[in-house]
Structure 1
């Protein structure tokens, strides 16, 4: 397409990205994994990609322009596991007079109950909105967020998160999981509250069956999660076998129920730390069943720290080798459980490279680490991974990094988030390293 064809009577394009490098795994319409060695321009008008290819934006005036200089362009990142209702609530622990510091799990659980009992719809919406704006600035296009629903917070947290979702729909998509943090059996009333949230627009049903008091109640919890999923026609986003505790054995029942209910590919399991403790033969059998059920597994690299027993990162490498889709997520962010976090998927990918670990893979596992926060994360969130081709919505991210290795190093530099053809968020930083000579990785 020539410059004159690009600049029609409709006026100049809304946006041109100049000299970008398609990230490995980018789908350009000719198959995922397409590699285009040349740098490409992307021309955008009316919220859609008009054309994409080497030099197609040269000499064309545009309302906005990004000069990528060889930086990567990719479909937006996905945050596959987070808690936007709790995010940034750590600042309230002191003012509420809650005990600190704490290290044991029961005390931390009680402090969380006490904290969320003070939440208001407006305050949750404010914090969740800040969380979503931060995610968008980091290049995240979809957030999968669990929201506590129980007899402590009622629907307050859910309603606040839904308000934030509506207010920030121009920045990103938020898929809300109705999450019965306190249980379904031991917290009478939670089942009806979760049902109400699903009726009001929650995207998936969550659960934490290990938190029930007896093995029988744990299985009942699982059954009720599947009952709610079928009743409302939604997928499942469940926390299961949370700790590195060999007595936690609910992943196999989850896989069996997934198959029995015909929900293959509709279930995401978070954490799955206990799998680390299984004997090799037991682990292999469970992993085979998880693969058969099409369950995605989301791990949080930050789970290597914190309370005891620590939560772990499951057998992520073994799951990947068996064909299971594994994603990496943030989990908690500046709340009762985690004082840190910045929602940057590149930091998550780098931490996962160490934690999984991926250093023994071909090309040192960098591409696998990247996939944990791109197409794998999208599948775990239950959404398609974006496509960059003419006619498709202009939703993508442009990085300063010119390779996946440089991206995971996360050297300071500009980053642009484009949604519907508009630059909706960006972050910038000065390069703190000396220029890298050509040809040096």
Structure 2
């Protein structure tokens, strides 16, 4: 029913989305006071709106979630040359040292500026929630964390940044990091991170894990941990992580990033570990771009097997134009397309497209620990409008325009063109 057919219905709104595709049908969205006041065919007709998006059949989707990133390091690659640091490195220890040299120069203001650029780009790509790790260690102290928190506060109107206190250099070999991470958690960090594989011995790696769980329990937060980073069969900490998650009753509160070593396990070992990960309700976030880089590369884990076991699998950006990765644009659709090839999801036909979409929406939100709301009347007006009319075309045509709506307001958008092959002329019989 249109407003003209119902004289008691409000005739104005903050935002109307006209002619979008949702679940295979064309609908309008009427937004008032930050919520979806009406959703359905023709409900925006005759509504005077402060803002109007003419979707022309473009997809309407819940906002995207970025489940793994490093906003404190993002866009820092441009600092390498001015600092006189070596430009071409493939050796892992040398890359780690260049990262230390880089972050030793970081200031709170400089980090906040780059992280702010990162967050604005994320919003323009349709991302409403970002999980971001901030390095906390004896090199950067709390500088990176404080800069990221400053950027978060400044951009709350655009998106929600969930910050992980991340002891990049270790908790055993960098003993001052424990107290620094605790200080960050006391100052508002949302989760505690870790990288136990970076410690020097297996005993130290287990100690690192135990310290992460101790911090999580002390501050009542979840865990966002980088574990078994590389395709290295000697990295075997995912199973102890699952066992501790169960022992501490933290099912559903742990996200494991990368998990590349799982690819290299014998099949029987992999099945056993995957079953424990599923039982512990650990989310696994992998980065499809990790198929390149330093040797051994970081891989994409056994994503298809994890999904088949009922594990929440998400995909993230990881690094963006920094010491580790020269490229990246924060577009979740790029990641979903890469995942379709790399996992692979191609054997699932159309269902593979749906799975790829869940990796950047529902699954990503679960990995971060935030709600994922389907679009409905009365629900929050947080969504994205794309130019493509199908999910398949959205994955094919990433340059198209995009509108990001948060709290009922268009907070970011991007312009571009879409290319679609013209429909063939009908064949006429002679």
TM-score by length of 1: 0.94
Match of 2:383 among 371, 396, 416: 396
CA-CA distance at 1:389 after TM superposition: 1.6
- Give CA deviations for 1:286-318 in whole Å, capped at 9, x if unaligned: 000000000000000011000001110000011
Distance 1:374 1:436 in 2: 31
Equivalent residue number for residue 365 of structure 1 = 352
Distance 2:30 2:212 in 1: 45
Q: Note closer, same or farther for the CA distance 1:154–1:405 as it changes in structure 2 (3 Å cut).
A: same
Equivalent residue number for residue 333 of structure 2 = 346
Distance 1:158 1:7 in 2: 54
More displaced, 368-377 or 129-138? 368-377
| Structure 1 residues 139-218: aligned runs within 5 Å | 139-218=126-205
Equivalent residue number for residue 315 of structure 2 = 328
- Give CA deviations for 1:126-150 in whole Å, capped at 9, x if unaligned: 0000000000000000000010000
RMSD: 1.6
Q: Note closer, same or farther for the CA distance 1:191–1:437 as it changes in structure 2 (3 Å cut).
A: farther
More displaced, 134-143 or 65-74? 65-74
Equivalent residue number for residue 384 of structure 1 = 371
Confirm whether residue 317 of structure 1 aligns to residue 310 of structure 2: no
CA-CA distance at 1:436 after TM superposition: 4.5
Q: Note closer, same or farther for the CA distance 1:142–1:437 as it changes in structure 2 (3 Å cut).
A: farther
More displaced, 111-120 or 9-18? 9-18
Equivalent residue number for residue 296 of structure 1 = 283
Distance 1:345 1:292 in 2: 28
TM-score by length of 2: 0.96
Equivalent residue number for residue 20 of structure 1 = 20
Equivalent residue number for residue 58 of structure 1 = 45
Equivalent residue number for residue 79 of structure 2 = 92
* Equivalent position SS for 1:376: helix
Q: Note closer, same or farther for the CA distance 1:223–1:401 as it changes in structure 2 (3 Å cut).
A: same
CA-CA distance at 1:364 after TM superposition: 6.0
Aligned length: 426
Equivalent residue number for residue 81 of structure 1 = 68
Q: Note closer, same or farther for the CA distance 1:16–1:438 as it changes in structure 2 (3 Å cut).
A: farther
More displaced, 2-11 or 171-180? 2-11
Distance 2:161 2:6 in 1: 34
* Equivalent position SS for 1:62: strand
Match of 2:263 among 276, 279, 284: 276
Distance 2:208 2:314 in 1: 25
Distance 1:411 1:284 in 2: 36
Distance 2:362 2:425 in 1: 30
* Equivalent position SS for 1:20: strand
CA-CA distance at 1:257 after TM superposition: 0.2
Unaligned ranges ≥5, structure 1? 23-34
